[in-house]
């Protein structure tokens, strides 16, 4: 081989190695970078509401604030792996909020009045005043309340007679027990992701459907008009885990619709903070700086289903967040460390070091639905029920009634998550 050829190969290798070292160094720097190590403890212009200033959150009196909370998942929106009911062989056999309603209406054992009675029974049993007291007693200060259009309207536009009964109750309990509430639209009309947790996995028909977009915008205006003066509301989480198309994340289509919702809310409520979700990776918020948003908090959802350690996963999120340079606060609106006490505490240590707020998923679950499933995680909630699900399409009124009555937290066991929170934050 000629000397010049060898020299060229060595030169190319040196360049490649140099580029790799630069990239590794830059990534390591972004992993370790704290976007605001000297966080001001006060903000000069408190509004009485939680607000985002720079990369920090502040309470109504202007004191720096970290939201530390839990999701009330499976309350407004029952989900298949947490629910105490299923739909048997009805339709696809996959439980969703929409399919559950359809299964109950197809059940010859149930009348429309009984269906409403069962809905009220579940809503008044699964989460009660004692649960808000318990969340506060373990030292948390926030609940993220997950609901869909089906909890508030009959058809996406016509409000239910009891539309705000349970949201109003939740806010009253938050005020009583010193908790902030994040109002999270978990499922928009037409579904923003075609995932079962949107309440409807049968369609992906929000972004391309002008009527569904219009009704979702109007729904948020209605919510904001109702709660514009409620300072217990930390902010509005406009759209849970939106996808640009089924199975694909982020993108211009979701950010543009976030902007449409943002503008609609701001028409009626200039004060409340707004959460913008890029639930997979921060790079899906690449267009955030192109919008003139104010009082906005970015939201990520972090579930580490990789072979990497929890700490490595969190550092990766921080690196991507720093790479985007958004200079906004961060709320990890959903996360879980499942069976590892070390990972739970290391995660919260890391969030605290960055000034990130967080709310784990979820408060209470049904272990029966995921116990023994190969590869399934446990410790999804602070509390776990253990109830064999009842088939909504065939069960009697009394059978469903019994299943719902048994969802009271007194019938659940505490988990590792509860122990971690109580030890870390709880009353001594």
CA terminus-to-terminus distance, the chain: 76
CB neighbours of residue 256 within 10 Å:
12
| 39-43, 157-161, 292-296: segment of lowest average pLDDT | 39-43
CA angle 415/421/422 to nearest 5° reads: 90
Residue 1 has pLDDT above 70, yes or no: no
pLDDT band per the 50, 70, 90 thresholds, residue 32: low
Can you tell me the distance from the alpha carbon of 164 to that of 161, in angstroms, rounded to the nearest whole number?
8
pLDDT in tens, 189-203: 999 999 999 999 999
pLDDT band per the 50, 70, 90 thresholds, residue 60: very high
Q: Before 362, cis peptide (omega within 30)?
A: yes
Q: For residue 365, what are the β-bridge partners?
A: 384
pLDDT in tens, 241-257: 998 887 777 778 899 99
Can you tell me the distance from the alpha carbon of 58 to that of 239, in angstroms, rounded to the nearest whole number?
23
Can you tell me the distance from the alpha carbon of 341 to that of 261, in angstroms, rounded to the nearest whole number?
39
What does the pLDDT read at residue 360?
98
Residue 34 has pLDDT above 70, yes or no: no
What does the pLDDT read at residue 4?
64
Burial 143-154 (b: 16+ CB within 10 A, else e): bbbbbbbbbbbe
The percent of residues in the chain predicted with pLDDT above 90, rounded, is 77
Question: 3-state SS string over the chain?
Answer: CCHHHHHHHHHHHHHHHHHHHHHHHHHHHHHHCCCCCCCCCECCCCCCCCEEECCEEECCCCEEECCEEEECCCCCCCCCCCCCEECCCCCCCCCCHHHHHHHHHHCCCCCHHHHHHHHHHHHHHHCCHHHHHHHHHCCCCEEEEEEEHHHHECCCCCECCCCCHHHHHHHHHHHHHCCEEEEEEEECCCCCCCCHHHCCCCCCCCCCCHHHHHHHHHHHHHHHHHHCCCCCEEEEECCCCCEEECCEECCHHHHHHHHHHHHHHHHHCCCCEEEEECCCCHHHHCCHHHCCCCCEEEEEEEECCCCCCHHHHHHHHHHHHHHHCCCCCEEEEEEECCCCHHHHHHHHHHHHHHCCEEEECCCEEEHHHCCCCCCCCCCCCCEEECCCCEECCCCCHHHHHHHHHCCCHHHCEECHHHHHHHHHHCCC
Residue 390 has pLDDT above 80, yes or no: yes
Residue 171 tokens read as 């806010």
What angle in degrees, to the nearest 10, is found between the helix axes of 341-354 and 416-425? 40
Tell me the C-alpha to C-alpha distance, in Å, between residue 107 and each of 90, 95, 170.
10, 15, 31
Can you tell me the distance from the alpha carbon of 326 to that of 55, in angstroms, rounded to the nearest whole number?
9
| 132-146, 268-282, 327-341: segment of lowest average pLDDT | 268-282
User: What's phi and psi for 146, nearest 5 deg?
Assistant: -100, 120
What does the pLDDT read at residue 380?
95
Mean predicted confidence (pLDDT) in 120-148:
98
* Closest residue by Cα to residue 170 from 69, 100, 96: 69
pLDDT band per the 50, 70, 90 thresholds, residue 152: very high
Residue 237 tokens read as 């989480």
Task: For CA atoms 54, 57, 63, 65, give the dihedral sign.
Answer: negative
* Closest residue by Cα to residue 215 from 169, 165, 154: 154
pLDDT in tens, 211-230: 999 999 999 999 999 999 99
What does the pLDDT read at residue 10?
53
Mean predicted confidence (pLDDT) in 104-129:
98
Mean predicted confidence (pLDDT) in 370-381:
82
What does the pLDDT read at residue 422?
96
Q: Which domains does the chain have, with CATH numbers?
A: 33-425 (3.20.20.80)
| Mean pLDDT (the chain, rounded) | 91
* Closest residue by Cα to residue 353 from 315, 326, 382: 315
What does the pLDDT read at residue 138?
97
């Amino acid at each position: 081989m000629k000397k010049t050829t060898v020299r060229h190969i060595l030169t190319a290798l040196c360049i490649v190695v140099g580029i790799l070292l630069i990239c590794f160094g830059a990534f390591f720097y972004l992993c370790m970078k704290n976007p605001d190590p000297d966080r001001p403890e006060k903000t000069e212009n408190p509004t009485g509401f939680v607000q985002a200033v720079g990369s920090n959150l502040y309470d109504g009196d202007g004191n720096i604030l970290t939201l530390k909370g839990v999701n009330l998942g499976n309350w407004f929106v029952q989900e298949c792996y947490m629910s105490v009911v299923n739909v048997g062989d009805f339709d696809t056999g996959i439980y969703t909020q929409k399919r559950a309603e359809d299964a109950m209406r197809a059940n010859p054992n149930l009348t429309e009045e009984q269906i409403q009675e069962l809905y009220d029974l579940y809503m008044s049993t699964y989460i009660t005043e004692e649960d808000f007291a318990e969340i506060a007693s373990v030292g948390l200060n926030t609940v993220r309340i997950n609901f869909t259009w089906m909890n508030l309207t009959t058809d996406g536009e016509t409000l239910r007679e009891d539309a705000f009964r349970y949201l109003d109750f939740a806010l009253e309990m938050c005020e009583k027990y010193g908790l902030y509430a994040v109002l999270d639209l978990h499922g928009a009309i037409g579904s923003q992701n075609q995932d079962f947790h949107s309440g409807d996995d049968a369609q992906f028909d929000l972004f391309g459907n002008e009527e569904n977009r219009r009704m979702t915008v109007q729904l948020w205006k209605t919510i904001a008009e109702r709660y514009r003066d409620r300072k217990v509301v930390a902010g509005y989480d406009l759209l849970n885990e939106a996808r640009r198309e089924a199975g694909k994340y982020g993108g211009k289509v979701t950010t543009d619709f976030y902007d449409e919702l943002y503008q609609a809310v701001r028409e009626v409520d200039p004060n409340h903070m707004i959460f913008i979700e890029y639930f997979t990776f921060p790079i899906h918020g690449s267009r955030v700086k192109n919008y003139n948003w104010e009082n906005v908090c970015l939201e990520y959802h972090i579930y580490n289903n990789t072979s990497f350690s929890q700490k490595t996963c969190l550092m990766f999120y921080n690196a991507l967040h720093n790479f985007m340079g958004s200079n906004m606060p961060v709320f990890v609106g959903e996360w879980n460390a499942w069976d590892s006490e070390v990972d739970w505490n290391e995660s919260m240590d890391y969030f605290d070091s960055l000034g990130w707020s967080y709310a784990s998923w979820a408060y209470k679950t049904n272990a029966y639905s995921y116990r023994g499933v190969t590869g399934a995680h446990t410790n999804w909630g602070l509390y776990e029920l253990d109830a064999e699900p009842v088939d909504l399409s065939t069960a009697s009124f009394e059978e469903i009634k019994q299943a719902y009555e048994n969802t009271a937290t007194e019938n659940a066991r505490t988990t590792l998550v509860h122990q971690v929170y109580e030890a870390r934050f709880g009353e001594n």
